Amino acid sequence: IKIISEGKKMKKFILLVVLFTFNSYSQYWVEQVSGVTTQLYTVSGTAGSNAVWTAGESGVILRTTNGGTNWLPANTGIPPAALIYSIWAVDEITAIAAGMNGTTSNIWRTSNGGASWQVVLSQASGFFNCIAMKRSNPLHGLVQGDPVGGRWSIWKTSNGGVNWDSTGCYLPQNGSE
């Protein structure tokens, strides 16, 4: 009976540790109000600053430079039917977004806080899943997408997303994966 009793005490102790750990870290999460009713799919912040970008349905891209107190539209030039599934905050005014406009996959880039966006990569089919830029050197990065034409869509940049190249990124599709 003592072993069972000690076991119950241990379970309670572990539960208290878990609850304490959860409560001590939950103070860092603050709910934000975006001001939009569309679905938001992606968010990216910049290291050492209060700049954060978020994006989603209907070409919506929002940006904050004060840690989320105010969110402002930053989607001038993004088609209203676009679905933005990935965004990467390079810095407070530069971001790269990936998504679909109809059946075309696009990578858009802004260097003026979202006042205008340019298509820097377009693919007739497929789907770009994610963007990843090096935090230590944001000139270098990758975008990865679904297979197109028997190969995975993998593109790299060495100039901050201005141009994208798939040379040396050939990864063949295996069956119907």
Task: Specify the pLDDT at position 14.
Answer: 39
Task: Specify the pLDDT at position 63.
Answer: 95
Highest averaged pLDDT of the listed ranges 1-15, 36-50, 104-118, 119-133:
104-118
Q: How confident is the model at residue 81 (pLDDT cuts 50, 70, 90)?
A: very high
Of 57, 15, 12, 9, nearest to 36 by C-alpha is 57
Task: Specify the pLDDT at position 158.
Answer: 95
Task: Specify the pLDDT at position 27.
Answer: 58
